[in-house]
Amino acid sequence: MTNATPSALPETRMPEFRLYNTLTRSVEPFVPTDGRTVRMYTCGPTVYNPAHLGNFRTFLFEDLFRRAIALQGWTVQQVMNLTDVDDKIIKRALERGLTIQALTDPVVETFHADRKYLRIQDAESYPRATEYIPQMIALVERLIANGVAYQADDQSVYFAIDRFPGYGKLSRLDRREVKSGARVAQDEYSKENAQDFALWKAAKEEDERTGAAWDSPWGRGRPGWHLECSAMAMELLGETLDVHCGGVDLVFPHHEDEIAQSEGATGKEFSRFWCHGAFLLTEGQKMAKRLGNVSNVQGLRDEGVTGAAYRHVVFSTHYRKELNLSADALEASLTAVRRVGEFAARLASATGGTPELAQAAAEAEREFRAALADDLNAPEAMAALFVFIKRANAELDRHGDDAAALEAARRVFGIIDGVLDLVPERGDTDAELAAWVDERLAARKAARAARDFAGADAIRDELLARGIELKDTPQGTTWQRR
């Protein structure tokens, strides 16, 4: 009986893709409506400040999602909005004597640079709210015509939540306990209900001064925050989306209000699935060991934390669980992606494998696909990768000559890293390696100074295991790769 070759291994079956739906509070089978293209709307940043690492935790789970969609054989049509007009933007522009466009243009550029640093794939569209004012006005007109919106005495237009029976179905809040959301005008004397939210805000002097006012049937004004997303989503993706994503903090009021105004206008379900990522937490003073008070991507750059390493940090925790960002977690992730990079280099330079290598690859692919299909279980997907690396390294140590097995391992590793994207760039790898070696050499020097020669030898062995040779000279210790 001959050993199995990659061509004889069973084909990897596509597992059923399942996703947690905030609307139903359950994990459900997910397929695009037409069986081919996932129409996906993801709430993007409000561009008055660079997006912080918590924002990017959400954007990274969405990046994982779109890559998992491709792995299923579907295409994706992703829209991520850029909110470039709202109360915070107008206030900041006023303080700096700028128009909202002059304020937001550089922040949009920073967002895209940060996104690329973290290897977040391009969405198909990045609409800016100010580019869709006519669509927003048309949506408000439909809502007024349908009797679920009204113009109040202050000349602003509000959505009447009491006239929309489904209000609260996403957040499951008792309407009697609902408090008016952020960015919503609070003039209770001009609204039917204190909880009614603004669709179109009558222009104030600061709006006019910063270029944040437009003509409308209700006078000069600007869109409400919630209105922007509904208008852009339906204009670019249709009246019913396959999935709408964002951070858990957007469930109420933002996404609840999006549902109300979208379904209040069309009478159709706005999104079949709602998918939300949990918060990013930090350890406060403990972060000072490595990052101090860094909270954005530029801070990661300054401290030498690569995009690959931050991806590893984020994917180490399921997207629906809170993630604690600590110095220890960042250090562990820098080490982990270094290991991935070393394996990638070894796999690329290998000349043959073994039948067991092909078997390890097949099992890794099966487990990886199953993990992603199980509500985007990134920790389990990464576990499949690192088990594969361990098994594959052991097989490569045997110096087999099975070219087909090696090709199978390369194919599977390409599939996995095509989703997780953890292989550092060569420059990243070199910089990380040098920093790590320097740290270990300092520890070895300290051990020798303390006459802990066993500890110093252990560090030398640790370096050798990574392919680093040391040479002690009168001028100090030098190192090189084997």
Residue set of the binding site? 43, 229, 254, 258, 289
- Number of neighbours of residue 25 by Cβ within 10 angstroms: 8
Residue positions forming the annotated binding site for Zn(2+): 43, 229, 254, 258
User: Taking phi first (over 0 means left), then psi (-120 to 50 degrees means alpha), and beta for anything else, what does residue 241 get?
Assistant: beta
**Residue 306 and residue 312: Cα distance in Å, rounded?**
10
**Residue 440 and residue 300: Cα distance in Å, rounded?**
22
396: number of CA atoms within 13 Å, CB side?
20
CB 115 within 8 A of CB 44: no
**Residue 127 and residue 312: Cα distance in Å, rounded?**
29
CA 469 and chain centroid, separation: 39
Residue positions forming the annotated binding site for ATP: 289
- Reference 207, options 129, 100, 131; nearest CA is 100
In sequence order, the 6+-apart residues with CB closer than 8 A to the CB of 345 are none
**Residue 190 and residue 152: Cα distance in Å, rounded?**
5
Buried b (16+ CB within 10 A) or exposed e, 217-256: ebeebbbbbbbbbbbbbbbbbebbbbbbbbbbebbbbbbb
